[in-house]
Structure 1
Amino acid sequence: MKKWIVALVFIVSIGLFGCQQQSVIEKHTDSTETPAQSKPTGKTETPKQTESTKQPVAQTKIIPSPAPVINIIDPTTNKLIHTFTPIDLGYEMDIAAYIAQIEQFAKELARGTDGKAGYDQRMVLDRLDENGNLIKGNPLILLRESILVERIMEASVEGGTVELPIEITESGYNPEDIQHLDDVVVASYTTYFNPTDTNRNKNIELSAEAIDKIIVGSGDHFSFNTVVGPRDEANGYQPAPEIINKKLVMGIGGGICQTSSTLFNAVDQLPVKYIERHHHSIDIGYVPKGRDATVSYGGLDFRFRNATDAPFLIEAIYGKDFLTIEIKTAEKYVEFFK
């Protein structure tokens, strides 16, 4: 009996020792096993990172966007002519000052500066030579300043490409009408001069030749200074009396105002619109008072626009003591000039 009791105590002791070992092993396993091992669910789970195994989070570097840039393009050549950044001109700081700078930029681009010509060009009208052959001139070219300013302002927020708003106007006549433009005289005017005043008369003759056989199409702009050009010795002009500040003084080209004034009195019989005309400071004698048109190259000009829907031809007839300007057109256009 005693032996059986001792044996039973020994077996129970072994059982308790085994339970303690299993408990220790289980506690050790809890701290090292993955969730998949400790909770067999049939699914693979991602192990959780401990503080010692977490990777550092990368910092995102913010790169600022570049400032908007405006590129100005000439659409006739597709060339880049100017680049600027609005923010550098104060777009975000002082909008009024920014607009003023853009307006000045557009003005200089259109009209030019002392050292650089602008885009604007007066029309050089077509003409006929002594044999009736056509001599081509140049179209009227205008850079629309206000439109350019509007386009730049629209592009100032995000930048981009701005095309110059260039307007090109060709002479308004049909080439088929050229051979008929001298059919009918619709206006004429004659002035007279002293045949003995050789130098002055030479200047009248040269300027009359310059405007002879000029074609003025519908809507065309005529500029006396553009057509005649510089009045200097290189072009054959002579020193002769001219009126400056109510006084007669000697100057190269004196007398050409008789040509411009004779032309005025001829075209004044037509439906034309005057763009520029000036009076002499004193009476000149060869036209009635107030019926003159004084000019000076690089200064005062005589300019008009053909406001009819038909072209006409200017013919200048220089005689021994007279100058006649005739305005002619094709017979089918006569009604437009009445």
Structure 2
Amino acid sequence: MGHFFKGVWILLIAVFIGLAGCTQQSSEKVESKNSGAQQTEQNEDEKAKEETEQADKKPEEIKPIVIDVIEPTSQEVVRSITPVEMGYGTDDVHYKSELEKLAGELARGTETAPGFDRRMIPDKLGPDGQVIKGSPLIILEEAELVENILKASEKGGTVELPLYVTASGYETNDAANLDEVVVGKYTTYFNPAVAGRTKNIELSAQAINNVILGVGDIFSFNTTVGPSDEAHGYQPAEEIVNKKVVMGIGGGICQTSSTLFNAVDGLGVGYVEKHHHSLSVGYVPKGRDATVSYGGKDFRFENTTGVPLLLKAIVGKGSLTVEIRTSKEYETQIKKGI
């Protein structure tokens, strides 16, 4: 009997031990299952977060290549261009054509903006013998600008305007002696009783009087004299327009330009621009005139004599004389025209 109860106890103990083992194993499985679920949920949360962050990120903008064209002295940007918008890389022929157009506008200006090219305003000899400074010749080299922009088109950056400045070609110390000898001279005549025409001749003659022309200088009548309008004291007088004699402000200044032409014509000067009237004029022989109009036709010549010159314009009672002078030292060095 004792053995029976002992066997029962052993059996009960074994059952309890088995149940405890099952419970622990089951618990471990649940925990493992829960842990796996939590890991999966965490991974999904992180993935969702990453997707949200990627969605929020904007694609990085690719900035186009830009070239800034700058003025070399002030470093001011005068024009910014985007090569691809002008055809670079897709139509290079058109692109170069657009650059040439841009260079022309920057050099010569447009209806709304002046260009960088500047004609020389020559120095003058003052009453006291001192030099009154004008302004130098400034040229924007258009072909060089186009070439420099083409070189910069791939990477962008800045391109300076290729501006070339040319001062008058004479030594300041020579100025005081340039009136020593006359090497060219011409006189024309007018009716002093015609007040408007007389005044206009006087004003234009005064503007070119004592002008110094250095070696290689290009003289522009219009640039030197300036506007022949009422604001500058010019008066109504007869002038020739389209083969008709009409009244106009500044009529008579062409006599000054024509007299100057005949005075310099015997010297070795090179003509840059010269025009005839549409009708013959009475103050010079046929074909010996040089008509001008501010903002239009001009009389321009280059001093190719090899020596500096001085212009003198003398108005008498009914006469205008233009003399070309230089120093005694330079007189024998002048290269005469053919």
Letter in 2 for 1:312: L
* Residue 236 (structure 1) aligns with: 233
- Residue range with higher mean Cα deviation, 78-87 or 321-330: 78-87
Q: Output aligned runs, 1:64-213, within 5 Å.
A: 66-213=63-210
Matched, 1:256 2:241: no
SS at match of 1:328: strand
For residues 242 and 160 of structure 2, the distance between their equivalents in structure 1, rounded to whole angstroms, comes to 46
Out of 218, 221, 229, which is 1:224 matched to?
221
Letter in 2 for 1:170: A
Q: Does structure 1 conserve the Cα–Cα contact (< 8 Å) formed by 2:131 and 2:172?
A: no
* Residue 16 (structure 1) aligns with: none
For residues 206 and 111 of structure 1, the distance between their equivalents in structure 2, rounded to whole angstroms, comes to 28
Matched, 1:245 2:260: no
> TM-score if structure 2 supplies the norm length?
0.80
For residues 77 and 318 of structure 2, the distance between their equivalents in structure 1, rounded to whole angstroms, comes to 56
Note the alpha carbon deviations across 1:198-253, whole angstroms, 9 max, x for none.
21111111110110000010111101011111111121111111011111100111
For residues 255 and 131 of structure 1, the distance between their equivalents in structure 2, rounded to whole angstroms, comes to 30
State the 1:66 CA deviation: 4.2
State the 1:95 CA deviation: 1.1
SS at match of 2:332: helix
State the 1:65 CA deviation: 6.1
* Residue 320 (structure 2) aligns with: 323
Letter in 2 for 1:90: G
State the 1:93 CA deviation: 1.6
**Larger helix proportion, structure 1 or 2?**
2
> TM-score if structure 1 supplies the norm length?
0.80
Letter in 1 for 2:203: L
- Residue range with higher mean Cα deviation, 65-74 or 309-318: 65-74
* Residue 36 (structure 2) aligns with: none
Letter in 1 for 2:163: I
- Residue range with higher mean Cα deviation, 187-196 or 74-83: 74-83
CA RMSD in angstroms, aligned pairs only: 2.2
For residues 206 and 105 of structure 2, the distance between their equivalents in structure 1, rounded to whole angstroms, comes to 35
Q: Output aligned runs, 1:8-19, within 5 Å.
A: none
SS at match of 2:333: helix
Note the alpha carbon deviations across 1:81-121, whole angstroms, 9 max, x for none.
22222112221221111111111111111111101101001
Letter in 1 for 2:287: G
State the 1:78 CA deviation: 2.0
Letter in 1 for 2:270: K
SS at match of 2:266: coil
The count of corresponding residues between Structure 1 and Structure 2 is: 284
For residues 248 and 64 of structure 1, the distance between their equivalents in structure 2, rounded to whole angstroms, comes to 67
For residues 199 and 271 of structure 2, the distance between their equivalents in structure 1, rounded to whole angstroms, comes to 28
For residues 131 and 228 of structure 2, the distance between their equivalents in structure 1, rounded to whole angstroms, comes to 24
SS at match of 2:207: helix
* Residue 301 (structure 2) aligns with: 304
State the 1:302 CA deviation: 0.4
SS at match of 1:333: helix
For residues 64 and 230 of structure 1, the distance between their equivalents in structure 2, rounded to whole angstroms, comes to 53
For residues 220 and 233 of structure 2, the distance between their equivalents in structure 1, rounded to whole angstroms, comes to 21
| Identical positions, percent | 58
Give structure 2 stretches of 5+ with no counterpart. Answer: 1-46, 48-56
Matched, 1:273 2:265: no
For residues 87 and 194 of structure 1, the distance between their equivalents in structure 2, rounded to whole angstroms, comes to 65
